[in-house]
């Protein structure tokens, strides 16, 4: 993320364990405080995330999670777990003197938002989440075992063809283990293969240009962080969030693309059933929050929250 005319300040926050997080304070200093959580894990925040907010009424705190984006050390997997990231959010809030705030996030960002809210519910004014993902094993299997192939059979076939026949019963396990292995060339090849599979299903259309698996300059760091979380089941017991969602009584808006092939819509629906104070809004969209209808709905919700104060 780069500074612009709405940037209040950028800084690094030492959160311990050898990690320093890049934090970007943006928007109206007196506006509704919002903590934005990026996805991945490992994707880092970017300027495109600003499109969800109005700098005249929102004060948005962006940060790159451990190992991601501008945070240091870049790509570090040491002391990099869901519990660590939850505590990092709390440290950022304390550092900035934020007592209560809205959390906005999608995909992995929604997972982290829910996990933080379970630990620190008193902090949360509201949650505005999209591309709902709770980190349950069934949700991981949806993509790693090709449950999406009912709609993208060509993408899954390409992924299988990039996998040795002896591993095609569980290609995700094969590629994720290579990504985290010591053979850099093999790690890069599997990282790009895995990224191409995910990239091929995130949109409603086919606006995706596959990366070249043989590209020696491709930086696969963020894919490695994602693999680190996936092979460790997001560092949470299975269904940890889903089985505790009934405890979250703050207002929760769930904005879910009907055609999200990365985060199965059934998970958003189940979560909605368990949350005591949630609204589920279906959009004609895929996984990414920049789909027009999804983005419009989120902006509207966030503007309404700002009006209420």
Q: Give catalytic residue positions.
A: 107, 260, 287
Beta strands in the chain (DSSP E): 7-16, 19-27, 32-37, 58-63, 101-107, 124-132, 252-257, 278-283
**Burial grade of 276 (CB within 10 A; 0-12, 13-18, 19 or more):** exposed
Q: Which of 267, 294, 248, 15 is nearest to 141 (CA)?
A: 267
Q: DSSP secondary-structure letter at 147?
A: G
CA 56 to chain centre: 26
What element of type H or E holds 68? none
Q: Which of 138, 279, 141, 289 is nearest to 204 (CA)?
A: 289
Contacts of 28 (CB under 8 A, 6+ apart): 55, 56, 57, 58, 59
């Amino acid at each position: 993320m780069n500074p612009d005319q709405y940037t209040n300040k950028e800084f690094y926050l030492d959160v311990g364990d050898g990690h320093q997080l890049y934090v970007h304070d943006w928007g109206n200093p007196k506006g509704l405080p919002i903590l934005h959580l990026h996805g991945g894990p490992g994707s880092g925040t970017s300027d495109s995330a600003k499109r969800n907010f109005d700098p005249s009424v929102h004060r948005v705190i962006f940060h790159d999670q451990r190992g991601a984006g501008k945070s240091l050390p870049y790509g570090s997997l040491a002391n990099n777990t869901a519990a660590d990231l939850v505590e990092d959010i709390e440290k950022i809030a304390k550092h900035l003197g934020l007592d209560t705030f809205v959390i906005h996030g999608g995909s992995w960002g929604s997972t982290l938002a829910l996990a933080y809210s379970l630990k620190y519910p008193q902090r949360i004014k509201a949650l505005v989440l999209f591309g709902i993902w709770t980190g349950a094993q069934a949700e991981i299997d949806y993509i790693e075992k090709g449950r999406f192939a009912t709609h993208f059979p060509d993408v899954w076939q390409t992924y299988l063809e990039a996998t040795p026949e002896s591993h095609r019963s569980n290609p995700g396990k094969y590629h994720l283990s290579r990504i985290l292995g010591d053979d850099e060339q093999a790690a890069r090849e599997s990282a790009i293969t895995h990224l191409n599979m995910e990239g091929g299903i995130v949109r409603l259309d086919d606006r995706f240009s596959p990366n070249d698996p043989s590209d020696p300059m491709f930086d696969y760091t963020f894919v490695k962080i994602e693999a680190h979380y996936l092979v460790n089941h997001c560092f949470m017991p299975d269904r940890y969030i889903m089985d505790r969602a009934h405890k979250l009584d703050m207002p929760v808006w769930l904005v879910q693309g009907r055609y999200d092939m990365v985060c199965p819509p059934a998970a958003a629906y189940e979560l909605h059933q368990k949350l005591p104070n949630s609204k589920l809004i279906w959009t004609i969209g895929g996984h990414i929050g920049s789909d027009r209808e999804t983005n419009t709905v989120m902006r509207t919700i966030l503007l309404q929250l700002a009006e209420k104060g």
